[in-house]
A = this chain, B = another copy of it.
Amino acid sequence: MSYQREWEELSAIKGELAERDWFMGTSGNLAIKAGSAPGAFLVTASGKDKRKRTAEDFLLVDLDGNPLEETKLKPSAETLLHTHIFKRSQAVCSLHVHTVANNVVSELYGDQGQITFKNQELIKAFGKWGQDDELIIPIIPNYADIPTLASTFSHHVDEDAGAVLIRNHGITVWGRSGFEAKKLLEASEFLFQYQLSLLSLKSTVQLQS
């Protein structure tokens, strides 16, 4: 079975995100469906340095996260989240990264269970084109037990593209292509950084005006 094209695509995305330092401390993991096999996807191997590009970066697994080829590699511990995305939607690519901004947002808004963006051009990346459209990104607790985490996560996978924050555990986005998943990831990060900067300044400006 051939998945050279998907490997190249995921590898390019990995390289780009690594350059931004979105995999600090070996955190983060990525997955892409292997097109010719409906029930198979490539996922990052556990414990690798994601700034390097090697033949052991990814391995092929089935929709339950079990390796489909003989390998000494172990799939990322959070592969279960990717399986839920591919089982519950037509998504093709799923990306999970930690950034300082997405972790801080997840903590500040964690008790509210979500963060809402409105009147922001960048929400168009999520298909929100109307004047009054809102983008809501859910925030779920960071259960140490991965099956519990994955199950809670799966309730928010109701479209083929989306994003979920895990409290103090980064963001997971998915889309109908690697390109779309990356677009949502970038737009989310931009909105989070914007929100934190605005929050820190709003009170100051009110004091001065």
Q: Which A residues are within 8 Å of any B CB, using their own CB?
A: 16, 20-21, 24-27, 49, 51, 98, 100-101, 103-104, 107-108, 119-122, 125, 129-131, 142, 144, 166-170, 179, 182-184, 186-187, 189-190, 193-194, 196-205, 207-208
Contact = CB atoms under 8 A, between A and B. Distances in A.
Contact of A200 (B98, B142, B190, B200): B200
A200 B119 CA distance: 23
A170 B121 contact: yes
Nearest to A104: B197
Given A100-B193, A131-B144, A193-B100, A24 B122 contact: yes
Interface of A is mostly: helix
A121 B194 contact: no
18 contacts: A25-B186, A27-B121, A98-B121, A100-B190, A100-B193, A104-B201, A107-B198, A108-B198, A108-B202, A119-B168, A121-B166, A131-B144, A196-B201, A200-B200, A200-B201, A202-B204, A202-B208, A203-B204
A201 B105 CA distance: 10
A43 B207 CA distance: 43
Given A51-B16, A179-B49, A120 B197 contact: no
Contacts of A201: 104, 108, 196, 199-200
B194 A200 contact: no
Contact of A24 (B49, B170, B186): B186
Contacts of A194: 100, 103-104
A206 B183 CA distance: 32
Contacts of A129: 144
A104 B198 contact: yes
B25 A122 contact: yes
A103 to B, nearest CB: 5
A165 B126 CA distance: 23
